[in-house]
Amino acid sequence: MTWLTPWVGAIAAAIAVPTLLILYFLKLRRRDVEVSTTLLWKKAIQDLQANAPFQRLRKNLLLLLQLLVLAAALFALAQPQFKGATTKGQRHIILIDRSASMQSLDAPSPSGAPRPVQRLEAAKKEAIDLIESLREANAFQPNIADEAMVIAFDTTAEVVANFTSDKGALKRAVESIAATDGGSMLEEAMRLAQAHAPRRVVEGQAIEGLIAGEPVTMHLWSDGAIADASRILPGVENEVVYHAVGQEVTANIGITSIRAERDFENPTRLAVYISLQSCDDRERTLDVELTIDGAVAGVKTVTLPATERAPEITPEAAEAGRAPDRPAPATGGVVFALDLPQGAVITARLRTGGDDDPRADVLRVDDRASIIVPPAKRLSVAIVTRGNLFIQAALGGLPLARLVTFTPEQFQQEIDARRSREFDVVILDSWLPRLPRGETLPPGRWLVFNAVPGGTLGLIDEGPGDSALFVDWAREHPVMRGLVLDNAVIAESRRVRIPEGNPVAVLATMSTGPSITEIITPEARAIVVPFDIAQTTWPFDVSFVVFSASAVTYLGADGSDPSTLRMLRPGGVLSDSIPLGASEPVLIEPDQRESPLVLAPDNRITFGPIRRAGLYQVRWSGNATDPGAARPLRTYAANMTDAFESDVRAHKRLVFASRTIASDQQGKVLDRRLWPWLLLAALAVLMFEWYVYNRKVYY
């Protein structure tokens, strides 16, 4: 037990207790009264004894009760409390996970109601309880107050309240945190905590509190679905208290991916692939509904097997801090085959049958996903080369409307005559057209091999590099999806650099730097492979054929209908270029709220991070429209298609890079304050004392 204000209680006791006793030692002298009989002499003598000062106290129930009331009040004034066993220091960092899985409805209700509540609400309630338990300053100990800061995180993080001892401000900050539909990443939140932590000076050198300064207690409220937990390195001096929210055994079914592909031979035939995941320990049968532009196009029934339960943790493993690997969730899927020559917005929705009981499907945001497909069209493709059999062979099997080969000189004439826009996609092999100064590429859609487009919005060529291998690639990008590049060897790479602020996305990296990039300018879009494929083993791997076909299809679809829905993830940033001549762009969010956007000089718009899943639209003024679009409008889809986040089984242990942290039991960390209970006890004794006094007086 600790005392927050012991000296206040001691001083008050030194004054109040003697005062109460003196009142019983010294009583008011009564006036002399003549009595008519000696029978009353005995009573008069007793009264005289009572009036005598400093006599021995007699047994008095009222005095005892009043002393009990006074003792309870004085102890309450000293503010006794039981200190939590896992907290140390005066500074606390409250980290609250607001990712999509924290919307799961499986946290016990604080009021004891049978219906569960959202995990985030339960986490906020516990965080507010912690804030209430923090020590406060007083006149005798002005420096005793605890300070705390509040950080909310998903794929990004933000400081909701900086270090303060103002409990009202901290509670308001916690209450303001709203759930998002993004994933959960803790690394940025840790960096923010480190940047805002107090510093101390040691021999003239400032040292950050999270690393080597005053110990900080970090309180993390999450369900443990943190994608980058294995990379987290908390400071050795700091204590991390993990508050697990949610159930280890729970039920959720979600959509983890949606994609659509047109048949190469018959582009009007469309296949929509929907992948599903279940973490329910029961076999589940559900319906998948597909809508096209809001109209129901089909419903299919799918059965997902039961997910195995995690094995029990042995005492030896628990002592060593090891947790057994959890069984993977059950997976399945469904395919819809459609005849759809026109472009359309396609939405998949799950009917889990659990609308009346949220525990049958605790997370709803992953029950819906959307995608849009462009109109069916056979592409017209041009190859500009001095001779490259690999490229021609890779494209020869595609069902293209036209495939024409040009020499660089011939195609330069096509550009000068403004006939290059007749092709949906142009492939440039070891050559770039002559361009006006500052231009990156002419208007159109380009697949570039063995060349580095420069200009104000392009790349910087830093010359040949050493031999290299592919290290990583953007597996979710339509061009890179399904590729396996581990076997490709690049004998002579090319080093490129992306200037800060340029609209360039890295699709693949090698040990020497970026290897495949995507450039988006107001009038052009390009996939760039800067090295010579003839100096690699890549053309002999099937992944090269798949890459070429995917790149041509991706660029061609975007070129024929730039209003095609862009795929986004909650937590990401919407960044795109709208046509030249457009002005006053406005973003329409899924809830129909409108937000004006800032139009950059290169006609680029940016909004984010995206917080909620759904359909976003960008509308602008002016006569500028995308080719093939009926009006100045462009649509984007944000889907929570995240298998890691849809697995909502709570983790009771967090495995960080430097340690494994088990979840604390609720209430173990909090300081238990006793003074409210002491005041209640004082009130109860006071009422009893009033009852005893009245009985003595009136009975």
Convert the pLDDT of each residue in 117-132 to its tens digit. Answer: 999 999 999 999 999 8
**Which residues in 183-222 are b (16+ Cβ under 10 Å) and which e?**
bbbbbbbbebbbebbeeeeeeeeeebbbbebbbbbbbbbb
Instruction: Tell me how crowded residue 327 is: count the other CB atoms within 10 A of its CB.
Output: 14
pLDDT of 431 above 90: yes
Q: Do residues 408 and 414 lie in contact, with contact meaning Cβ atoms separated by under 8 Å?
A: no
pLDDT band at 306 (very low <50, low <70, confident <90, very high): very high
Type of residue numbered 345:
V
Q: How far apart are CA 607 and CA 598, in angstroms?
A: 9
What is the arithmetic mean of pLDDT over 581-610?
A: 89
Greater model confidence, 120 or 116? 120
Specify the 3-state DSSP secondary structure of 636: strand
- Going through 564-696 in order, the beta strands assigned E by DSSP cover 566-568, 574-577, 583-588, 594-596, 604-607, 614-621, 633-638, 653-655, 660-662, 672-673
Q: What is the pLDDT of residue 332?
A: 94
Greater model confidence, 194 or 61? 194
Q: What is the pLDDT of residue 201?
A: 45
Q: What is the pLDDT of residue 317?
A: 54
Greater model confidence, 682 or 556? 556
Q: What is the pLDDT of residue 561?
A: 39
Q: Find the range with the poorest average confidence among 133-137, 148-152, 320-324.
A: 320-324
**Which residues in 466-489 are b (16+ Cβ under 10 Å) and which e?**
eebebeebbeebebbeebebeebe
Nearest partner of 552 among 380, 674, 433, 385, judged by Cα? 380
What is the arithmetic mean of pLDDT over 263-278?
A: 88
pLDDT of 667 above 90: no
Q: What is the pLDDT of residue 146?
A: 85
Q: How far apart are CA 189 and CA 187, in angstroms?
A: 5
Helix (H) or strand (E) holding 36: none
Greater model confidence, 565 or 360? 360
Q: What is the pLDDT of residue 47?
A: 54
Give every CB contact of residue 193 below 8 A, 6+ residues apart in sequence.
93, 95, 149, 151, 210, 216, 218
Q: Find the range with the poorest average confidence among 360-369, 470-479, 560-569, 679-688.
A: 560-569
Per-state percent for the chain, helix, strand, coil, to nearest 5: 25, 30, 45
Helix (H) or strand (E) holding 297: strand 295-304
Convert the pLDDT of each residue in 669-681 to its tens digit. Answer: 445 566 565 566 6
Q: What is the pLDDT of residue 639?
A: 93
Greater model confidence, 492 or 76? 492
Nearest partner of 399 among 552, 236, 280, 573, judged by Cα? 552
Question: What are the angstrom distances between the C-alpha of 552 and each of 8, 385, 547?
Answer: 79, 16, 9
pLDDT of 467 above 60: yes
Q: Do residues 654 and 660 lie in contact, with contact meaning Cβ atoms separated by under 8 Å?
A: yes
Q: Find the range with the poorest average confidence among 67-76, 240-249, 573-582.
A: 67-76
pLDDT band at 582 (very low <50, low <70, confident <90, very high): confident
Percent of the chain clearing pLDDT 70 (strictly above): 72
Q: Find the range with the poorest average confidence among 4-18, 205-219, 335-349, 398-412.
A: 205-219
| Domains (range + CATH), the chain | 2-77+676-698 (no CATH), 91-248+654-666 (3.40.50.410), 253-310+326-376 (2.60.40.10), 406-560 (3.40.50.880), 566-638 (2.60.40)
Q: How far apart are CA 139 and CA 452, in angstroms?
A: 70
pLDDT band at 348 (very low <50, low <70, confident <90, very high): very high
Average pLDDT in the chain: 80
pLDDT of 241 above 80: yes
Rg (CA), the chain: 36
Q: Do residues 605 and 577 lie in contact, with contact meaning Cβ atoms separated by under 8 Å?
A: yes
pLDDT of 181 above 70: yes
Helix (H) or strand (E) holding 276: strand 269-278
Which 8-state DSSP code applies to residue 580?
T
Query: Residue 272: beta bridge partners?
Result: 260, 336
Q: Give just the sign of the alpha carbon dihedral 372, 376, 377, 378.
A: positive
Work out the angle at residue 239's Cα, subtended by the Cα atoms of residues 236 and 243, and round it to the nearest 5 degrees.
140
Nearest partner of 198 among 128, 86, 93, 127, judged by Cα? 93
What is the arithmetic mean of pLDDT over 426-455?
A: 88
Q: Do residues 578 and 503 lie in contact, with contact meaning Cβ atoms separated by under 8 Å?
A: no
What is the arithmetic mean of pLDDT over 75-81?
A: 62
pLDDT band at 564 (very low <50, low <70, confident <90, very high): very low
Q: How far apart are CA 309 and CA 317, in angstroms?
A: 18
What is the arithmetic mean of pLDDT over 223-241?
A: 84
What is the arithmetic mean of pLDDT over 386-413?
A: 88
The DSSP line for 308-334 is PPPPPPPHHHHHHT--PPPPPPEEEEE
Q: What is the pLDDT of residue 399?
A: 79
Q: How far apart are CA 5 and CA 75, in angstroms?
A: 10
- How far apart, in Å, do the first and last CA atoms of the chain sit? 44
Q: How far apart are CA 174 and CA 562, in angstroms?
A: 42
Q: What is the pLDDT of residue 28?
A: 47
pLDDT band at 631 (very low <50, low <70, confident <90, very high): low
Q: Do residues 464 and 513 lie in contact, with contact meaning Cβ atoms separated by under 8 Å?
A: no
Q: How far apart are CA 149 and CA 92, in angstroms?
A: 7
Greater model confidence, 12 or 680? 12
Convert the pLDDT of each residue in 381-398 to its tens digit. Answer: 999 999 888 898 888 777
Type of residue numbered 97:
D
Give the pair of three-digit tokens for residue 426.
């142009």
pLDDT band at 581 (very low <50, low <70, confident <90, very high): confident
Q: How far apart are CA 145 and CA 40, in angstroms?
A: 63
Q: What is the pLDDT of residue 88?
A: 45
Task: Decide: residue 521, CB within 10 A, 0-12 exposed, 13-18 middle, 19+ buried.
Answer: buried
pLDDT of 542 above 50: yes
HSE on the CB side for 9, CA within 13 Å?
17
pLDDT of 354 above 60: no
pTM score: 0.69
Q: Find the range with the poorest average confidence among 102-116, 319-333, 481-495.
A: 319-333
Q: Do residues 221 and 101 lie in contact, with contact meaning Cβ atoms separated by under 8 Å?
A: no
Q: What is the pLDDT of residue 268?
A: 87
Give the pair of three-digit tokens for residue 321.
């801090």
Q: Do residues 625 and 632 lie in contact, with contact meaning Cβ atoms separated by under 8 Å?
A: yes
What is the arithmetic mean of pLDDT over 477-501?
A: 88
pLDDT of 44 above 60: no
Helix (H) or strand (E) holding 519: strand 513-520
Greater model confidence, 203 or 470? 470
Which residue in the block uniquely carries the two structure tokens 């009007």? 268
What is the arithmetic mean of pLDDT over 321-340?
A: 83
pLDDT of 372 above 90: no
